[in-house]
Structure 1
Amino acid sequence: MRRRLLLLRHGEVDYFPGGRPMPPEGAGLTPRGRAQAEAVGQLLREVPLDLAVHTGLPRTEETLRIVLGGREVPVEAWPEFQEIRPGRLRDLPDPERAFREAFHPQDLSERFLGGEGYGEFLDRVLPAYGRLLARPWDTLLLVAHGGVIRALLSYALTGQRGFLPLEVHPCGLSVLDLGDRPLLRLHNLTPYELLPQTRLSTMEALWRAYRP
């Protein structure tokens, strides 16, 4: 019997209030982000959960709290699943290119927006994924970040370290059934907007919010 891993990105966050970047570690949900989490909570309200995990950052912790809606589910914080860390944006020689090429590295030694290296990021996330799989559970909800979900799905589906060209919207839900061969049952379902209207990638939208 396959186990089921529910992967959920946190709800919408404003990383550039007034066009100026804020430290992503402290960013919380917008009102729209909270509404997105409530929609996911309605979808999952009858789904039995053995364990729920967030990354210890406010945006994932708040999303999980709203989704659970007071349900009695064991909750744990796993900082290893925090998002890949950017550098100082003002130091980027070509910031637009850095945003548009993010999560499409030619080599894993490259750095995300001048910050954490992609290989370093995978060295942090994938061992934690292995430890999570070693735990006894049947259905688990992991509320994490877009880059983390890309990394986990890419590894589960290909067995390779890297990033498939997958988009992950705010509160986008993916369902991965785990057995001898993992099955991606569902990817990036957004219950609040079943057919997303945007055609921008996450990083393209972030560039529009940031660009001078």
Structure 2
Amino acid sequence: MRRRLLLLRHGEVDYFPHGKPVPPEGVGLTERGRVQAEAVRTLLASVPLDLAVHTGLPRTQETLALVLKGRNTPVEIWPEFQEIRPGALKALPNPERAFREAFYPRDLQERFLGGERYADFLDRLLPAYERLLQKPWETLLLVAHGGVIRALLSYALTGQRGFLPLEVHPCGLSVLDLGEPNLLRVHNLTPYDPLPHRRISTMEELWEAYRTGRAHTTPPGPE
């Protein structure tokens, strides 16, 4: 029987309050992000979990705490699953292009928003994934980040290092059944907004937030 890996992105955050970027290591959930996590808690209420993992950053820790409220599920911190690290955004020669093309590198030696190389990101991420698979569990919940989930699903489904063109919204849930072959049962399910109406990518949305100074939001219904 296949084991089941639940991949959940953290809830909504605001990386650009008042139009200025803040260190992503310390940012927490917005009120909407907390509501999103509570919707996931309701969705998973009857799902047995053997283990839950977060990345040690406040946004994943807070999301997991809300999802697991009332449970006694063992929790582990795996910082190897932290998000790919951006550089100084003001130093980017073409920031709009950098945002729009993020996670679509032509070469894995390129840098994400002028920061960490995609190759180095995968070098710390994929060995941790292999170690996680060696642990004894039947159903595991990993609360991580958009780039992490893109990379893990790409590797699990293709066996290759890279990034499939997958969207991962705040508190977007993916369900991966592990076996021969691995099966993606669900991708990017957002229980607070089952059929997202917006048609821009998350990185395009982040670019607009950075450009205009508006919070990174995912409205639950039509604007």
Q: How would you bin the TM-score normalised by the shorter chain?
A: over 0.9
Deviation at 1:70, TM superposition (A): 2.4
Deviations 1:66-90 (A, max 9, x none): 0011200000000000000000000
Matches within 5 A, 1:38-117: 38-117=38-117
Matches within 5 A, 1:1-212: 1-211=1-211
Q: CA–CA distance in 2 between the matches of 1:211 and 1:111?
A: 20
SS at match of 1:25: coil
Deviation at 1:100, TM superposition (A): 0.4
SS at match of 1:186: strand
Aligned residue identity for 1:203: M
Count of residues in Structure 1 that have an aligned counterpart in Structure 2:
212
Q: CA–CA distance in 1 between the matches of 2:168 and 2:141?
A: 16
Q: CA–CA distance in 1 between the matches of 2:195 and 2:202?
A: 16
Report the RMSD for the aligned CA atoms in angstroms: 0.6
- Percent of pairs identical after alignment? 79
Partner residue in 1 for 2:218: none
Q: CA–CA distance in 1 between the matches of 2:94 and 2:131?
A: 38
Deviations 1:27-58 (A, max 9, x none): 00000000000000000011000000000000
Aligned residue identity for 2:140: L
Deviation at 1:197, TM superposition (A): 1.5
* Structure 2 residues without counterparts, runs of 5 or longer: 213-223
SS at match of 1:93: coil
SS at match of 2:25: helix
SS at match of 1:165: coil
Deviation at 1:96, TM superposition (A): 0.4
Which segment is superposed worse, 197-206 or 78-87?
A: 197-206
Deviation at 1:205, TM superposition (A): 0.3
- Runs of 4+ in structure 1 over 2 Å off: none
Q: CA–CA distance in 2 between the matches of 1:79 and 1:55?
A: 5
Q: CA–CA distance in 1 between the matches of 2:9 and 2:169?
A: 7
Deviations 1:98-154 (A, max 9, x none): 000000000000000000000000001000000000001000000000000000000
Q: CA–CA distance in 2 between the matches of 1:109 and 1:12?
A: 29
Aligned residue identity for 1:18: H
Deviations 1:131-185 (A, max 9, x none): 0000010000000000000000000000000000000000000000001210000
Q: CA–CA distance in 1 between the matches of 2:180 and 2:41?
A: 30
SS at match of 2:127: helix
SS at match of 2:53: strand
Partner residue in 1 for 2:220: none
TM-score normalised according to structure 1 size: 0.99
Aligned residue identity for 2:38: E
Q: CA–CA distance in 2 between the matches of 1:19 and 1:30?
A: 16
Deviation at 1:200, TM superposition (A): 1.1
TM-score normalised according to structure 2 size: 0.94
